[in-house]
Amino acid sequence: MKTSRRSRRMQRHYRRMHRTGGLNLVSLMDIFTILVFFLMVNSSDVKVMQNNSDVPLPLSSAQQKAEETLTVQVMGRSVLVQGREVAHLDAIETGDAVVTGLSAELAWHRERRGEVPEQGFEVTIMAGRDTDYRLLRKIMQTCVDQQYRRVRLAVESDGEVRNG
């Protein structure tokens, strides 16, 4: 039997409206491209030093951004270089002028870097607020003896953090 023109038009319309929808990849790719560029632009000026919650850093109003350097961390009863334990505070509290384990580790890092610059290498010391000054002075003296003369102390900014 023949169907009328109206019924054929209704069948076409019904098929067209009840089809499964497709995924438009062009707009999805545009969104991800914009997101990638946004993250690349905004993440380039942020410098965050990896801090452990066990080391409460002193507060400071310093405006300089942190730089990636060799990190010496005083945490609990041990001294760490780049996260690797090199000395215990029990051995440090003897009468020695330098920290022997730290001295050996810094010498190893210095040999790997090659020639010593005129100002010396850079090192950042992360020590808690309650760290004894005599211990901190021994650590700094050990760094200076091993040609790490540009010593920086890590601090926590007390001002508000702004992004560029």
Low-confidence ranges of the chain (pLDDT < 50): 46, 161-164
Please provide residue 98's backbone torsions phi and psi, each rounded to the nearest 5 degrees: -125, 160
pLDDT of residue 23: 76
Q: Looking at the chain, list the stretches that DSSP marks H as alpha helix, in order from N- to C-terminal side.
A: 5-17, 25-43, 89-92, 100-113, 133-145
Residue at 147: amino acid letter: Q
> For residue 35, what are its two tokens?
């997101």
Mapping DSSP to helix (H, G, I), strand (E, B) and coil, where does residue 96 land?
coil
Model pLDDT, residue 120:
86
Report the pLDDT value the prediction gives residue 63, as an integer from 0 to 100: 64
pTM over 0.75: no
Q: Identify residue 76 by its one-letter amino acid code.
A: G
Q: Where do the structural domains in the chain lie, given as residue ranges?
A: 5-43, 59-157
The residue length of the chain stands at 164
At residue 162, the pLDDT reads 45
For residues 81 and 124, the answer to whether their CB atoms sit within 8 Å is: no
